[in-house]
């Protein structure tokens, strides 16, 4: 890029920075502006200080790889020793390297080519067990085998919530632009970084346990971004506002964000990919109300954490029940296996492959749903044609 050359000539400071780093930053700026002009995004903010930069493939060299540390040669900066979190000795092809600041520490993340080392994903027909998961607030994850994972609430438990609000208050009481304010901001950032790391580690543990449970992992297709939207204002018709429960909703949003559901989902997707296990996303509609035994849907069946089907007296913990419904909706059925799913008869067919998520549709499930009068037929809409086939089976 010519801009880079101009920059390097105009200012001494730029000449010291590696050309690739400058180029990637200019590319980022260019993307921000084209997003603004072409895609209707907001005007780019002025960034006073960059907290991350990246080197293009082939720039960074690793030397002196030991068990706990290694040295990276960063062009324009020099050799930097770093603590490595995993085995680096097998890396052959080092791609883009990103250096970023997190909570006062500098981290290096390396993109590595791993072609050939991932197993093929097992076809759904050959899988022998399935686990459905339901993420929630009281229990972080409920599994369809009846077990739970506790919600540790890293940032919203009483102790840390108090500490975070103290740190935030300390910032707002310092004079703007003062050194003390910067110090207070750093303190808060460090605290948040610590919590994020804790949440991350716990998510890995939870995801690992879930993936090891069964051959197929079923989860709900949640729109988490939509779930944590602000409460809508309610107008009272006189130019004022009615109570809309905004502060309660804000509190709930904070708890949902703290649980880190999508964090767990991403980790499950990766661990399942490494283990060659398919992850199936199913529609989430009425998963908390539908009975896994008789498919009856009734608001009255649910009472807090208890679930008692008004039609067939099936009882379970409400979250466990939701996870069983999730597992069921995949459409895989396994006879003589009480641990995973109750018996059903059905033909399993794959309809569509996506990159990580596989959607499976079961004709038998569709037929059953058609006979019971319930509003869940919405998500079975694609199967109108296949229903005819299944009724002749
Ligand atoms: Zn029932």
What is the DSSP track for 115-179? TT-SPPPPPGGG---EEEEEE-SSEEEEETTS-EEE---TTTSHHHHHHHHHHHHHHHHSPTT-H
Least confident range from 75-89, 148-162, 206-220, 323-337: namely: 323-337
Ligand 1 centroid to residue 301 C-alpha, Å: 9
360 has pLDDT over 60: no
Ligand 1 centroid to residue 371 C-alpha, Å: 15
Return the HEC string of 194-227: HHHHHHHHHHHHHHHHHHHHCCEEEEECCCHHHH
Taking Cα atoms as reference points, which of 223, 236, 240, 365 lies closest to residue 281? 223
What is the pLDDT of the chain when averaged over all its residues?
77
**Residue tagged 């649980």 (tokens):** 259
- The 10 Å CB-count burial string (b at 16+, else e) for 171-187 is beeeeeeeeebeebeee
Ligand 1 centroid to residue 29 C-alpha, Å: 57
Ligand 1 centroid to residue 263 C-alpha, Å: 33
Ligand 1 centroid to residue 284 C-alpha, Å: 18
Give the pLDDT score at 187.
93
Give the pLDDT score at 27.
87
To the question of pTM greater than 0.85 for the whole model, the response is no
Give the pLDDT score at 345.
32
Ligand 1 centroid to residue 349 C-alpha, Å: 26
For the record, the structure tokens of 192 come out as 């948040």
Burial label, 243 (beta-carbon count in 10 A; 0-12, 13-18, 19+) = exposed
Ligand 1 centroid to residue 297 C-alpha, Å: 8
Ligand 1 centroid to residue 131 C-alpha, Å: 20
Ligand 1 centroid to residue 128 C-alpha, Å: 25
Ligand 1 centroid to residue 369 C-alpha, Å: 13
Q: Percentage of the chain with pLDDT > 90? A: 15
Going by pLDDT thresholds of 50, 70 and 90, the confidence category of residue 115 is low
> What is the per-residue DSSP string for 89-122?
TT---EEEEEEEEETTEEEEEEEE--TT-SPPPP
Give the pLDDT score at 114.
66
117 has pLDDT over 80: no
Q: Which helix (H) or strand (E) holds 80?
A: strand 78-83
HSE-CB for 259 with a 13 A CA cutoff: 22
Q: Edge-to-edge, what's the strand order for the sheet holding 139-143?
A: 148-150, 139-143, 130-135, 216-220, 279-282, 357-362, 348-353
Between residues 242 and 169, the one the model is more confident about: 169
Q: Tell me how far CA of residue 68 lies from CA of 64, 83, 280, in angstroms.
A: 11, 6, 37
Ligand 1 centroid to residue 323 C-alpha, Å: 15
356 has pLDDT over 90: no
- Average pLDDT (356-370) is 33
pLDDT in tens, 244-286: 888 888 888 888 888 889 889 888 888 888 888 888 888 888 8
Ligand 1 centroid to residue 342 C-alpha, Å: 13
350 has pLDDT over 60: no
Ligand 1 centroid to residue 308 C-alpha, Å: 8
For the record, the structure tokens of 372 come out as 């019971």
Q: Length of the chain in residues, anyone?
A: 393
For the record, the structure tokens of 5 come out as 């050359």
Give the pLDDT score at 192.
92
Ligand 1 centroid to residue 166 C-alpha, Å: 49
**Residue tagged 């209707």 (tokens):** 40
User: In the beta sheet, which residues pair with residue 349?
Assistant: 361
Ligand 1 centroid to residue 257 C-alpha, Å: 33
pLDDT in tens, 295-335: 788 888 888 888 888 888 888 888 888 888 888 777 665 54
| Rounded Cα gap, residues 320 and 323, in angstroms | 5
1 has pLDDT over 60: no
Give the pLDDT score at 332.
67
Give the pLDDT score at 343.
33
- Average pLDDT (140-162) is 89
- Average pLDDT (343-362) is 34
- Average pLDDT (190-202) is 92
Give the pLDDT score at 217.
87
Q: Percentage of the chain with pLDDT > 70? A: 83
Give the pLDDT score at 178.
94
pLDDT in tens, 197-229: 999 999 999 999 999 988 888 888 888 888 888
Give the pLDDT score at 336.
43
- Average pLDDT (47-67) is 85
Q: Is the dihedral of CA 354, 360, 363, 369 positive or negative?
A: negative
């Amino acid at each position: 890029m010519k801009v880079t050359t101009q920059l390097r000539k105009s200012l001494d400071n730029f000449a010291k920075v590696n050309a690739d780093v400058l180029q990637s930053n200019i590319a980022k700026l260019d993307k921000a502006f084209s997003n603004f002009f072409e895609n209707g995004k907001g005007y780019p903010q002025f960034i006073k200080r960059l907290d991350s930069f990246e080197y293009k493939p082939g720039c960074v060299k690793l030397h002196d790889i030991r068990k706990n540390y290694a040295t990276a040669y960063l062009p324009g900066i020099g050799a930097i020793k770093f603590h490595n979190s995993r085995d680096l000795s097998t890396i052959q092809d080092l791609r883009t390297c990103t250096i970023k600041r997190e909570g006062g520490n500098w981290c290096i993340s390396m993109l590595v080519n791993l072609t050939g080392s991932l197993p093929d994903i097992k076809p759904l027909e050959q899988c022998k067990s399935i686990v459905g998961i339901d993420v929630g607030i009281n229990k972080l994850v409920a599994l369809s085998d009846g077990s739970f994972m506790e919600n540790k609430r890293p940032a919203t438990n009483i102790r840390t919530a108090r500490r975070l609000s103290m740190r935030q208050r300390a910032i707002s009481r310092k004079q703007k632009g003062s050194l003390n304010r910067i110090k207070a901001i750093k303190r808060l950032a460090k605290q948040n970084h610590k919590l994020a790391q804790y949440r991350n580690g716990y998510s890995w543990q939870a995801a690992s346990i879930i993936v090891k449970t069964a051959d197929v992992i079923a989860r709900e297709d949640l729109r988490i971004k939509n779930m944590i939207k602000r409460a809508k204002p309610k107008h009272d018709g006189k130019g004022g506002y009615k109570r809309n429960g905004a502060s309660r909703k804000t509190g709930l949003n904070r708890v949902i964000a703290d649980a880190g559901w999508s964090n767990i989902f991403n980790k499950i997707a990766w661990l399942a990919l490494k283990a060659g296990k398919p992850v199936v996303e199913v529609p989430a509609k009425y998963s908390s109300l539908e009975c896994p035994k008789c498919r009856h849907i009734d608001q009255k069946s649910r009472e807090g954490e208890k679930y008692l089907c008004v039609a067939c007296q099936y009882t379970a913990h409400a979250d466990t029940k939701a996870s069983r419904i999730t597992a069921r909706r995949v459409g895989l059925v396994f006879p003589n296996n009480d641990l995973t799913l109750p018996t059903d008869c059905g033909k399993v067919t794959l309809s569509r492959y996506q990159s990580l998520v596989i959607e499976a549709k079961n004709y038998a499930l569709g037929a059953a749903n058609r006979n019971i009068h319930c509003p869940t037929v919405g998500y079975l809409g694609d199967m109108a044609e296949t229903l005819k086939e299944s009724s002749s089976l």
